[in-house]
Amino acid sequence: MSAKTGKLIYHLTAINNFESIIRNGLCPRNKIKPNIDVADNEILNGRNKYNLLDYVPFHFFINTPFDGAVKKKYKTTDFIYICLEREIAKMNEFKIIPCHPLSNRLINYENILFDYDKGFDLIEWDKIDSDNRNYVDQDIKNACMAECLYKGVISCRIFSSISVKDVESFKKIDKILLKFGFISDKNKYTYHGEYSFFVDINPSWF
């Protein structure tokens, strides 16, 4: 599927962070430190220069260079993807950075955060959707690191879905949702009225 025409954006996090996310919402780094922190300190310092620690970042497809690096570094950690519909992101005034936030491509911009439509058009989709998405090529790698960001805390009520790698991970998520009243003990497919996201198993994503 083309990343440009996709319907979702994706946030990778450790499954052990999920209970905190359900309790507090999906928070930017300056609001709450994750139970399992996968961020690189050097990158964090660069992001802080643009006040990006006030934002929650998403990517436009799964298995970006960031995802791959995190999964390789934390091989024993179970991860999940929190998915949002792009239309919901647009309605909620998410911003877009059209490539890696620390890329030289942005060096001449005073502000690297663009309104959704402008930022979307600035993304180099031809590089992302090319037949040869080779992350050794720095230009392709930078293009694939485009971000969609929200300033502040994201409520669980706008999540579209949660993707996990296997049945065991599904059961962990299920247990947390049951604990917080998102689903009924009698009918685990009847979700709380305000929260319509679902959980699915996608082993190929991990």
Specify binding-site residues for NAD(+): 11-13, 47
- Is 157 considered catalytic here? no
Considering the candidates 147, 157, 168, 194, report the single residue annotated as catalytic.
147
Whether the Cβ atoms of residue 58 and residue 3 lie closer than 8 Å to each other: no
CB 90 within 8 A of CB 116: yes
Nearest to 5 by CA among 100, 87, 118, 91: 87
Selecting among 23, 29, 42, 47, the annotated active-site residue is 47
With a CB cutoff of 8 Å and minimum separation 6, the contacts of 154 are: 25, 26, 27, 56, 84
Q: What are residue 40's phi and psi, to 5 degrees?
A: -90, 130
Rounded to 5, what percent of the chain is helix, strand, coil? 35, 20, 45
168 is catalytic: no
State residue 137 phi and psi, 5-degree precision.
Answer: -75, 115
Distance CA 62, CA 41 (A): 23
Q: Is 191 helix (H, G, I), strand (E, B) or coil?
A: strand
Question: Which residues are known catalytic residues?
Answer: 47, 147
